Chain A
Amino acid sequence: MSDAAKDAPLIAVEDLHTFYGKSHILHGVTLHVRPGEVVGLLGRNGVGKSTTLKTIMGLVRPTEGNIRLDGTPITGLPPHKLARLGIGYVPEDRRIFRLLTVMENLRTGLDRQGVSDEKKQALLDKVFNYFPVLGERRNQAGGTLSGGEQQMLAIARAMMLEPKIILLDEPTEGLMPRMVSQISNIIDVLHKENVAILLVEQNVPLTLEASERVYIMEKGSVRHHAAAQDLKVNDAVIHQYLGV
């Protein structure tokens, strides 16, 4: 990959406006994520972070603005097409298929056209290697897993799509502190796999640690954009927008 190609954004979101019914949620969000990059999206509750992810995933239709994947416009495509194009989504509440076994949860992303049996096995081996507990519980119903295990499963499931980017929505929410550090490990794993991540989090230290760049949102648009390193030393900005 040439340097120019490496710097070209993988996902480019431009002036995104989204409504839920009559309420205007996103007021022109603009951001981008480069291949293999971890980008944090911070902000208080209800500023539109999750809606930004949902809009990128095609779960909510924007009224204005456009989204490009590798330079190709993808605005308005249905979610299942976006998933096949390489966007993985790990929602806030994880949304494990509770009555499906761990294996079946993984198969929802694995049983795509054009994936050979060897490839499937390789993908499974990879996630079972990263998350041995999922391998042990492969025949157990997803709903019987603990919160942390469900989070692993949600991420492993997204990895089955061999995504170029994963939209990761509040992975630490509701997890025990011990599990939170594991989430950083998981993010590292994805980073090693050269999967880009757009990370929405309330946990500021974790986000600053894991991300290369950070966008801070307020009232439905991006108000601040900086390298994570800079924010670590300049906590006035964090304080101003997040009140922590």
Chain B
Amino acid sequence: MELTAILFSIPWDEILIQTINGIVTGMILALIASGLTLIFGIMDVVNFAHGELFMLGAYIGVVVLATTGNFWLALLIATLAVALIGAAIQVVTLRPLIGRDPLTTILATFGVSLILQNYALWQFGPVARKIQEPFTGHFTLFYLEYPWYRLVIAGLSAAIIGGFWLFLKYGKYGIWIRATTQDRVMAQAMGIPVPLVYTAAFAIGAGMAAASGVLFGPLVGVNHTMGLDWVLKAFIVVVVGGMGNLGGSIAAAIFISLLEAYASIWVSPAQAVIVSFIVLILTLLFRPTGLFVPTPK
């Protein structure tokens, strides 16, 4: 009797809805955090401009969508364009700092983030733009009309991350990236052009951030500060997942997003954010190398 009362009191429908929500945001977050952790892992650069690359991707998506009317084209062009911009940023601001104190790269990327933010404000103004989702179908989930597009975001993010993983695992340049991440000196001695690998890794990370910006654009408005929230969460994910650990970041992104989604059943979404910080603090206190990494021997 007691047990059934407890089972009935659990809002199963809400939990299912929030599970789906959590996975959707988790995949987007994983996409952003993958780029961030790739860049950190390979060159020890904490990229404070990552959120602005996400924002820039969304804006380029807005512009291309307005001109061509094709969402998928907008996604592709934004990704490629921001990858190129990322490569240029790396060459101009980070390459000259190789071998310097990591603090200088933090300041450099912070500077880049301010420039990009203010450029967007100047170019597009303070009013949020909207990216129209490519299709507007819904399906019924309990009392909700749940948009298919959200599931497509999760699927596409997973596909991009999966493609990236395959590239790292089997591609010639993927092996170069992993070798450089593990030992940049030995990578050079094996003939791997490490400065070029750095630029390529930054470009890939930037492109992934841009893709998430366009994919997520339809759910939130596009404005010049949209990167801030996301990059903060992505940083939490990267730390909780273990700095530079790709698999850990993906697991942490989904884990934290699910926790926040469940928390928002009982408290407001704004308060639910606190959960991520609690996880962050606990991780730093008890497992500073990251929750999702094997215990160091």
Which residue numbers of A lie inside 8 Å of B, CB to CB? 57-59, 78-80, 83-84, 89, 91, 95, 97-100, 104-105, 107-109, 111-112, 157-158, 160-161
4 smallest beta-carbon distances between A and B, as pairs:
A83-B191, A79-B188, A95-B186, A89-B189
B178 within 8 A of A: yes
Q: B175 an interface residue at 8 Å Cβ cutoff?
A: yes
Q: Are A57 and B178 in contact (CB under 8 A)?
A: no
1-41 of chain B: CB within 8 A of chain A: none
CA distance A42 to B191 in the complex (A): 27
Categorize the interface residue count of chain B: 10 to 19
Q: Which residues of B contact A (CB under 8 A)?
A: 172, 175-176, 178-179, 182-183, 185-195
Chain B positions within 8 Å of A107 at CB level: 172, 175
Chain B residues with CB below 8 A from A161, complex form: 190-191
> Would B191 and A57 count as touching, CB distance under 8 A?
no
Chain B proximity of A145: nearest CB distance (Å): 15
B175 touching A91, Cβ below 8 Å: no
B221 to chain A, nearest CB (A): 41
Query: Which A residue's beta carbon lies closest to that of B185?
Result: A59
Q: Distance in Å from the Cβ of A61 to the closest Cβ of chain B?
A: 12
B192 partner, pick from A91, A99, A108, A158, beta carbons under 8 A: A108
Residue in chain B with minimal CB distance to A79? B188
Q: How many A-B residue pairs have CB under 8 A?
A: 65
Q: Compute how far the CA of A99 lies from the CA of B185 in the bound complex, rounded to whole angstroms.
A: 16
Contacts of A111 in B (CB 8 A): 172, 175-176
Choice from B179, B187, B189 contacting A57 with Cβ under 8 Å:
B189
- Residue in A79, A99, A105 whose CB lies within 8 Å of B189: A79
Closest Cβ neighbor of B169 among chain A residues: A104
Q: Beyond A83-B188, A83-B191, A108-B187: 9 further Cβ-contacts under 8 Å?
A: A57-B189, A80-B194, A91-B186, A97-B186, A100-B175, A104-B178, A108-B175, A108-B179, A111-B176
Q: Is the CB of B188 within 8 A of A78?
A: yes
Bound CA span A47–B104, Å: 35
Known: A57-B189, A89-B189, A108-B187. A99 touches B194 (CB 8 A): no
Q: Which residues of B contact A80 (CB under 8 A)?
A: 188-194
Q: From the candidates B178, B183, B191, name the one contacting A95 in the complex (CB within 8 A).
A: B183
Q: Pick from A58, A97, A157, A160: contact of B178, CB below 8 A.
A: A97
Across the interface, name the chain A residue whose C-beta is closest to B188.
Answer: A79
B134 to chain A, nearest CB (A): 38
- Taking the closest CB of chain A, its distance from the CB of B36, in whole angstroms, is 20
Return the chain A residue nearest B196 by Cβ.
Answer: A80
Which single member of A59, A98, A157 contacts B190 (CB below 8 Å)? A157
Residue of A nearest to B197 (CB): A80
Residues of the A chain whose Cβ atoms lie less than 8 Å from the Cβ of B187: 97, 108
A contact residues around B176 at 8 Å (CB): 108, 111
Q: How far apart are B293's CB and chain A's nearest CB, in angstroms?
A: 12
